Structure 1
Amino acid sequence: MALTALYPGSFDPVTNGHLDVLFHAVRLADRVVVAIGVHPGKKPLFSPEIRGEMILEAAAELDVADRVSVVTFDDLVVDAAKREGASVLIRGLRDGTDLDYEMQMAGMNGTMVPEVQTVFLPASPPVRHITATLVRQIAGMGGDISGFVPEQVAVRLRARFSGAASD
């Protein structure tokens, strides 16, 4: 039986930290569904479609595109997992603060849908400090984000903040 994992997040933008966790998730599961959360009250930098394109481009660069797909969801993550046939939720951890929050979420999700198991994957040390929030802030102030995101994402970020893109 093939194991499907759901890797949820906002991915706005996808970072090298996200990709590190994705790469490790693909080593554990036969199929990884990257689930982009869409929240009506939030104004993301990039549309869900553009975020999906960036994730698939990066998956191709990692040579794992054949085992990765992208969906969007605007409901509970456990409902998205059930729709995709996922028995595992992938959550990346950078530090103890992430662990505290993610343990609460895993408990709530496990109570609602016990057949979906949360698996924590620690980010590798070279990318542990990267957050999408900080990447957006650095890019917005004209800083060098090349060490934090794939090149195709950096190009889109530079275009976005120069006013050249309307994604």
Structure 2
Amino acid sequence: MKVAVCPGSFDPITSGHLDVIERGAYLFEKVVVGVFEKTEKNPLFSLDERIGFIESAIKENSKLSNVEVESFNSLLIDFAHRHKACAIIKGLRAVSDFEHEFQMAQFNRKLDKSIETIFVMASPKYAYLSSSAVKEIAKFGGCIEGLVTKEVEKGFRKVFKL
């Protein structure tokens, strides 16, 4: 079985993330979305909330029936090994994303050259979309419809008391 992992902090998951995951689910027999337990980004949502948002989105999309979600707190390459993954899927929005992701891909390749990093270019309608931008818009009561799932919208209303 061809398995890929798709890692991230997903704080929160956006429509852009879901697009990358869906495209990975088309290419691989199984995709494991790996949610970083600890992140230096100081997440707005708890680990359980982030996982819940992703699981909810998976249940709502029949194209994601081969996708699972799991948290991890290890090297990404070790997470990939646990799932017998042959690939790591990463989304790229712009050239600015490439430099960091390229460096991480090279580190992962050094750790295990049998696991490929697959870069998925953002769909044009999501090329501008980031979790941090969505958080900023939500914080000030802006419209985030279509940028995140309904469950994430509810999460923002709860956090920001909107």
TM-score higher than 0.5: yes
Gaps of 5+ in 2: none
CA contact (8 A) 1:56 1:65 kept: no
1:89 matched residue in structure 2: 88
TM-score by length of 1: 0.92
2:153 matched residue in structure 1: 154
> Higher mean Cα deviation, 145-154 or 27-36?
145-154
Gaps of 5+ in 1: none
Residues in 2 aligned to 1:39 and 1:152: alpha-carbon distance in whole angstroms: 22
Deviation string 1:27-72 (CA, Å, 9 cap, x unpaired) is: 1111000000122655311111111111111122221342111111
CA contact (8 A) 1:5 1:86 kept: yes
TM-score by length of 2: 0.94
> Higher mean Cα deviation, 60-69 or 113-122?
60-69
Q: Within 5 Å, give how 1:96-135 maps onto structure 2.
A: 96-135=95-134
Residues in 1 aligned to 2:102 and 2:39: alpha-carbon distance in whole angstroms: 25
Residues in 2 aligned to 1:9 and 1:3: alpha-carbon distance in whole angstroms: 20
CA contact (8 A) 2:25 2:64 kept: no
Q: Alpha carbons of 1:78 and 1:101: their partners in 2 closer, same or farther (altered >3 Å)?
A: same
CA contact (8 A) 2:34 2:71 kept: yes
The CA RMSD measured in Å over matched residues stands at 1.4
Which of structure 1's runs of 4+ aligned residues deviate more than 2 A? 40-43
Structure 2: which amino acid aligns with 1:105? M
